[in-house]
């Protein structure tokens, strides 16, 4: 397919793209600056640190603004983008270079698009109740839990009893792989990386958090604002994820969603349904963007 280097592209004047750049940096610094301050003090935060530690995307990368494809940056300042990979001079300024979207870059985009479409095609399943975090500490000595600085709300025995009394229905491989050895046989399915496209569904909190991974891996061929939207969605989801966990987060200001009770499970399912609703348009934007890259830039 011919590349669109010669096609007309919208021009952003320097004051326009600098305003967008500033807005993005300030928006992301709400999250990046406190994280870096905690790190400098040697402090851990089990809720807020997760997105920086689990996903391989540094705070400096999250703050970096990029226009995405199909845009020309005008003004003398745009030449600074030539120091980055994937940009070139064009008529009127600087833009992403379609030639930099190589087959090596296209392959993971195809896989991402297939996974996103498969996930979006399924109905949401809202009956897992966040028990993946419980399964990660099942029959695990307290000092060896994933967040050993936090107490378990029900203690080790109480936590184990909840896992044994409720069905484990986790279909997300990247959560399942952290289950303890004793918990894995209790799960209704045995997800693998190979079966991920067959099992992923839009009600899963972790599948919706992973929209952030799908977005930042497209860099620089993705607008920074889309990455930021995915990050903020994931940050909100992470809060529910940990409030429904077996850990006591009261000292950090997070009231529990007690999924060991019927009322708590109902509360979790309502919140999960709301995140399913919020995630759908974000997933749709990622699907459209991946399809654009593969049809217009490949």
Task: Give the tens place of pLDDT for each residue, 187-203.
Answer: 999 999 999 999 999 99
Q: Per residue of the chain (298 residues), give pLDDT as tens.
A: 334 444 557 999 999 999 999 999 999 999 999 999 999 999 999 999 999 999 999 999 999 999 999 999 999 999 999 999 999 999 999 999 999 999 999 999 999 999 999 999 999 999 999 999 999 999 987 655 567 678 999 999 999 999 999 999 999 999 999 999 999 999 999 999 999 999 999 999 999 999 999 999 999 999 999 999 999 999 999 999 999 999 999 999 999 999 999 999 999 999 999 999 999 999 999 999 999 999 986 5
Determine the pLDDT at residue 33. 98
Q: Is 162 helix (H, G, I), strand (E, B) or coil?
A: helix
Determine the pLDDT at residue 141. 74
Determine the pLDDT at residue 8. 54
- CB–CB of 168/187 below 8 Å? yes
Q: Is 194 helix (H, G, I), strand (E, B) or coil?
A: coil
Tokens, residue 15: 């004051």
Determine the pLDDT at residue 74. 97
What's the pLDDT tens digit per position in 119-154? 999 999 999 999 999 999 999 876 555 676 789 999
Is beta strand 93-96 parallel, antiparallel or unpaired with respect to 87-90? antiparallel
Sheet holding 93-96, edge to edge: 11-12, 72-73, 93-96, 87-90
> Half-sphere exposure of residue 162, counting CA atoms within 13 Å on the CB side?
28
Name the DSSP class of 166. S
What does each C-alpha distance from 88 to 47, 106, 253, 270 come to in angstroms? 40, 19, 48, 48
Determine the pLDDT at residue 144. 58
């Amino acid at each position: 397919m011919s590349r669109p280097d010669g096609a007309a592209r919208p021009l952003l004047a320097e004051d326009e793209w600098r305003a967008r750049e500033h807005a993005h940096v300030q928006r992301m610094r709400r999250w990046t600056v406190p994280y870096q301050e905690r790190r400098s003090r040697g402090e851990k935060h089990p809720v807020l640190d997760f997105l920086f530690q689990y996903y391989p995307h540094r705070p400096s990368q999250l703050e970096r603004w990029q226009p995405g494809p199909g845009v020309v940056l005008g003004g003398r300042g745009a030449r600074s983008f030539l120091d980055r990979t994937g940009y070139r001079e064009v008529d009127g300024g600087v833009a992403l270079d379609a030639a930099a979207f190589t087959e090596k870059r296209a392959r993971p985009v195809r896989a991402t698009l297939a996974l996103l479409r498969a996930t979006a095609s399924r109905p949401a399943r809202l009956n897992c109740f966040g028990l993946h975090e419980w399964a990660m500490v099942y029959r695990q000595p307290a000092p060896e839990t994933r967040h050993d600085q936090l107490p378990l709300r029900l203690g080790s025995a109480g936590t184990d009893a909840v896992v044994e009394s409720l069905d484990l229905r986790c279909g997300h491989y990247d959560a399942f792989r952290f289950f303890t050895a004793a918990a894995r046989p209790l799960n209704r399915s045995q997800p693998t990386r190979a079966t991920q496209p067959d099992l992923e569904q839009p009600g899963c909190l972790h599948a919706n958090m992973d929209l952030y991974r799908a977005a930042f891996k497209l860099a620089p061929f993705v607008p920074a604002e889309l990455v930021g939207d995915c990050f903020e969605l994931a940050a909100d989801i992470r809060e529910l994820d940990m409030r429904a966990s077996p850990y006591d987060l009261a000292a950090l200001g997070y009231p529990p969603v007690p999924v060991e009770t019927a009322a708590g499970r109902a509360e979790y399912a309502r919140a999960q349904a709301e995140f399913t609703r919020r995630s759908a348009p974000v997933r749709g934007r990622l699907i459209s963007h991946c399809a654009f890259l593969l049809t217009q830039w490949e």
